[in-house]
Amino acid sequence: MAVHSDSASSGKKSSNGPNELLTFNAENMQNNMKIIYYSRTFLSIIGGVVAGILGFTGLKGFVFYLLLMGLTSLGLVAKAGFSTHTYFDSWNRVLLDGFLGGLMSFVLFWTFAYDIVHIF
């Protein structure tokens, strides 16, 4: 995915030494946040289509969405080399950022695929 190729590699903030000096390059941080957002949105759309085709209903679908978000977070953390503190300023950002927006897209495409495949 082209989005991932230039992702966390450009997110430089000065690493903190033993005395916790934290400085952030705001532009790089914004770039990283944008990349998280794109990845989440893209995966929610794909995940929605997959869930619809596989015929998940009700709770199973939402569990699938949560799994998907967890997978996204894991992937992002792995790409950041497991040292998220050099690329983001807090854990919550990388874990929870595009969650709700992704949920709406997921539900839309889930409904769409489910209807096309199963009802009609």
Partner 1 sequence: MAEDLVLDTAIRDWVLIPLSVVMVLIGVLRYFVSKLMNSSQTPDTKIVKEGQVVVRARNLRVGANFIPSKAFRARKIYYCNEENGLLFVPKGQGQNPQAQMFSDPNMAMDMMKKNLSMIIPQTLTFAWVNFFFSGFVAAKIPFPLTQRFRSMLQNGIDLSTVDVSYVSSRSWYFLNLFGLRGFFSLILGEENAVDDTQRMMQMGGFGFDPSKGLSAEKDNLDITQHDWALPNFEQRAEAVLRKVIS
61 contacts 47 by C-beta, under 8 angstroms: no
Q: State the nearest-atom distance from the C-beta of 74 to partner 1, in Å.
A: 20
Q: State the nearest-atom distance from the C-beta of 59 to partner 1, in Å.
A: 7
Is 37 or 79 the residue whose CB approaches partner 1 more closely?
A: 37
Residues lying near partner 1 in the complex (CB under 8 A): 17-19, 21, 23, 34, 37-38, 41-42, 44-45, 51-52, 56-59, 61-62, 98, 101-102, 104-112, 114-116, 119-120
In three-state form (DSSP H/G/I as H, E/B as E, the rest C), the secondary structure along 12-30 is CCCCCCCCCCCCCCHHHHH
Q: State the nearest-atom distance from the C-beta of 71 to partner 1, in Å.
A: 17
**CB-based burial label for 11 (10 Å; 0-12, 13-18, 19+):** buried
